[in-house]
Amino acid sequence: MRKKKIGPILLSGLIIGPILGSGIIILPPLIFRTIGDYALVAWLLTMIVSFVFAAVFGRLYIRFPGDSGAAQAVEQALGKPFRNLGAMFLIIAVCLGPIAVLSTASDYLSLWTGKDSPFILLALLMLVYAGVSMSITSLGRLSLILSSSITVLLVSGALHSLLFARGRIDFSTPFQLPAFGYSLLLLFWCLVGWEVIGNYTGEVRQPKKTIHRAIIFSCLVIAVVSLTVAAAVQWVDPEKLHVPVSGKLDLILSSLFGSRAKPLIALITAALCLSTVIMVIGGVSRLIAAQADKGIFPAPLAYRNKKGVPVAALSVMFSVHLTVFLLAELRLITLVQIIAIANTFFLGNAFLGLVAAFRLLEEKWIRWSSVFLGIGLLSLLIFTAKWVLVAIVGMTVWTWLRTVHARHPASSIRKKEH
């Protein structure tokens, strides 16, 4: 049975919601509290860098499309051991991260319903696996509907509040470089996610045209939503809305939606978190299947159903996520620890992708952009937990030694003989 493939619109549906993620809910108020009137400048700089990040990985995926995503390019640039290292980085991150992301959605839904229950998180996890079990076309349509709805609600609410509840527009806040730099560091997380898109490129038609168009369209939509929401948070006057300052994003929706703003924010947050988790789990399940096809993982993990869904890999991932959920509920692992581990491995995988882009793509602007972004990712790794950093460095060094041994087996044998 021929597997259906998706075009630029459905691929955009898989990109927009997940890249916006829960960050579009959490970060605008946080950045404004940190640097005041310079918040929008920080967002604008981040969007420019985001375009560059997307362009680098987009070019990489056009040249190396397939379910393996960035791993295939990493193998071409650095060798098979580093391909497997990058794949493991991403798999470990996605085995942990989704529970933390879904916990954010659960918290917002709990605030709306007034009930704090682990069953909300468990129900969200079930919804995620119902989503990733769909065919790629159905999954793309679902993501497109969620992304479109979120975009319309956030942009319309932000524009309405700017038109009818706008306060002062100036730069009276004193500029403080350390605070501005810290805000850029927080906003750098908006870039993470583009590297996972590559795992879907084996299921798009006309990869060069589709990937190029989807990335341009997605970048524009993400920029419009992010900058509009950031401007509304910065310039809306709460007194004109007659609502208390909550520190949350429901402020900018109050102008248009009134008392329905809080439940809407809860639903938007849940939809964004679901989109993000569906994307990363769907992408990594395809990566696991591709690794099984190559003999890296057990062959049964390569099994796909008639819709092309890697159900064997999804079954294993569901078991892992259920275990992480139970460990978190039993307080044997905290959400902070989960986030720290997942973020570090996400960054490690993205860094390897940038190294591959630097080595494989000839354009000078791509290579310099890869260097700039790579330095940024390394600077973020400095702030991670030391034991996680030691683990990731240890895995990298071990992989490098394996690569050296594989490239110079004869010299290794001569050394043993002497």
What is the per-residue pLDDT for 413?
45
CB 198 within 8 A of CB 61: yes
- Supply φ then ψ for residue 166, to 5 degrees: -75, 140
Q: What is the pLDDT of residues 169-196, one digit of tens each?
A: 766 778 888 888 778 767 876 766 777 6
Higher pLDDT, 410 or 350: 350
* Confidence bin at 319 (pLDDT 50/70/90): very high
Q: Which of 20-34, 144-158, 404-418 has the highest mean pLDDT?
A: 144-158
48-52, 241-245, 280-284, 391-395: the lowest-pLDDT one: 241-245
How would you classify residue 175: left for phi > 0, otherwise alpha for psi between -120 and 50, otherwise beta? Answer: beta
- For the chain, percent of residues with pLDDT exceeding 70: 87
24-28, 64-68, 232-236, 348-352: the lowest-pLDDT one: 64-68
Q: Which amino acid is at 171?
A: F
Instruction: Please choose, from the candidates 17, 303, 12, 279, the residue with its C-alpha nearest in 3D space to the C-alpha of residue 128.
Output: 279
Q: What is the pLDDT of residues 261-307, one digit of tens each?
A: 778 888 888 888 888 888 889 888 988 998 898 888 999 999 988 88
Q: What is the mean pLDDT of residues 65-91?
A: 84
What is the per-residue pLDDT for 350?
85
6: which strand partners?
A: 204
What is the per-residue pLDDT for 114?
65
| Burial grade of 332 (CB within 10 A; 0-12, 13-18, 19 or more) | exposed
Q: In the numeric block, which tokens belong to residue 285? A: 């399940």
Residue with tokens 């003989």: 417
What is the per-residue pLDDT for 383?
65
Q: In the numeric block, which tokens belong to residue 142? A: 């679902």
- For the chain, percent of residues with pLDDT exceeding 90: 14
CB 81 within 8 A of CB 406: yes
* Confidence bin at 221 (pLDDT 50/70/90): very high
Q: How far apart are CA 52 and CA 413, in angstroms?
A: 45
- Supply φ then ψ for residue 12, to 5 degrees: -60, -35
Q: What is the average pLDDT score of the chain?
A: 82
Q: What is the pTM of this model?
A: 0.79
Q: How far apart are CA 365 and CA 257, in angstroms?
A: 45
CB 69 within 8 A of CB 199: yes
33-37, 266-270, 375-379: the lowest-pLDDT one: 375-379
CA atoms within 13 A on the CB side of 411: 5
Higher pLDDT, 20 or 412: 20
What is the per-residue pLDDT for 324?
92
* Confidence bin at 103 (pLDDT 50/70/90): confident
Residue 239 has pLDDT above 60, yes or no: yes
- Supply φ then ψ for residue 413, to 5 degrees: -70, -40
What is the per-residue pLDDT for 2?
47
Which are the contacts of 142, defined by CB distance < 8 A and separation ≥ 6? 13, 131, 134, 278
Residue 237 has pLDDT above 70, yes or no: yes
What is the per-residue pLDDT for 65?
78
Residue 259 has pLDDT above 70, yes or no: yes
Q: What is the mean pLDDT of residues 192-209?
A: 75
Q: What is the mean pLDDT of residues 357-386?
A: 83
* Confidence bin at 1 (pLDDT 50/70/90): very low
Q: How far apart are CA 265 and CA 248, in angstroms?
A: 9
Residue 94 has pLDDT above 50, yes or no: yes
